[in-house]
Amino acid sequence: MIGRILDRLRDVRRRKLWSPTAASGRRGEDLAHRFLRGKGFIIVARNFRLAGEAEADLIAREGDALVIVEVKTREDSGFGPPERAIDEEKRRHLIRVARAFARRTETPWERVRFDVVTVVLCDPPKIELYRNAW
C-alpha cells in the first residue's frame, strides 16, 4: 500500500519534469521492479548501460540464472501489446548487455535468460512476465 502511494507521488513529480513517455516508462520499470521482487527475483542492476544505445532496464537473479529484463510500458493497449515493440535491433542490444554483464559476473552463458515484463498503466496496472522471451 505504502509502495503504491510512493510510486504515485514519484510519478506525479516525474510528469512535471520529464517527457510523458519517459515518465511512463520509468513508472513501468518501478512497477516491474516491485513485481519481480514479489516473485522472488533479486534485482542486481537497473538501467545498466553500455557505450552506445545498449541498455537493459533490469538485471536480476532468479536462482542460478542471470536474467536480463526488458520492460515495455503502455498507457493503454490501444497500440497493441507492449511486447510487440521489441524488435531485432533491441534484441541485439540486450544480447550485448548480457554478454558484458555475464563476463563481469563470471556467469556462464547457459545461465543467462531474457525475460520481458509488460505493463499497461490502467487502474490497477496490468503486469505480465514472459520468461525466456527469446
pLDDT, one tens digit per residue, over 88-133 is 999 999 999 999 999 999 999 999 999 999 999 988 899 999 999 8
20-38 helix and 2-17 helix, angle to the nearest 10 degrees? 160
Give, for 20, the enclosing helix (H) or strand (E). helix 20-38
If pLDDT is split at 50, 70 and 90, which confidence band does 48 have? Answer: very high
CATH 3.40.1350.10 given to domain 2-130: yes
Amino acid type, 75: E
In sequence order, the 6+-apart residues with CB closer than 8 A to the CB of 13 are none
d(CA 75, CA 28): 10
DSSP 63: T
Max Cα distance, the chain (Å): 43
Per-residue pLDDT at 106? 96
Asked if residue 14 lies in contact with residue 26, where contact means CB atoms within 8 angstroms, the answer is yes
Average pLDDT over residues 5-29: 71
Mark residue 63 as left, alpha or beta (left: phi above 0; alpha: psi -120 to 50; beta: remaining).
left
Residue 22: pLDDT band with limits 50, 70, 90: confident
Question: Quick one: pLDDT at residue 97?
Answer: 96
Average pLDDT of the chain to the nearest whole number: 87
Rounded Cα distance, 113 and 134, in Å: 8
Cell of 71: 520492460
